[in-house]
Amino acid sequence: MANGKSEQLLESMVEVTIEIINLTKNKEIPRPIAEQIIKSISSIGANFSEAQEASSKKDFINKIYIAKKEAQETRYWLKVIERITSIDDKIKGEVSRFIMTLQKIITTSKEKH
């Protein structure tokens, strides 16, 4: 992935993380659920960021895969939260975009590997 695109994606991950943190503060979401979604959403960007400095192609793919798994977990928690309170569709769309983008990175990296 090109450096500029990586930076843009990482910035989107940071923005969505902040949006979800604010969502959990401003809505009546049970604390255990708030903690879980904050852990999973923040882990997406953290693992993506780590992947940029991976020690090998295998390490890169592994970190991107972990980021994708965390994005899928985040999507699950958003579904739970959506049953408790309203959620901006933009957040759900961004998390889905992260999953698709991360899967594309994995697929492309494996093909080149």
pTM higher than 0.75 for the full model?
yes
pLDDT 10s digits, 92-112 = 999 999 999 999 999 999 987
pLDDT of 113? 58
As a whole number of Å, the CA-based R_g of the chain is: 14
Predicted confidence band at 3 (pLDDT cuts at 50, 70, 90)?
confident
Residue 14: left if φ>0, alpha if ψ -120 to 50, beta else—which one? alpha
Listed by start position, the domains of the chain span 32-38+57-113
* Residue type (1 letter), 51: A
For 29-49, what is each residue's pLDDT tens digit?
999 999 999 999 999 999 999
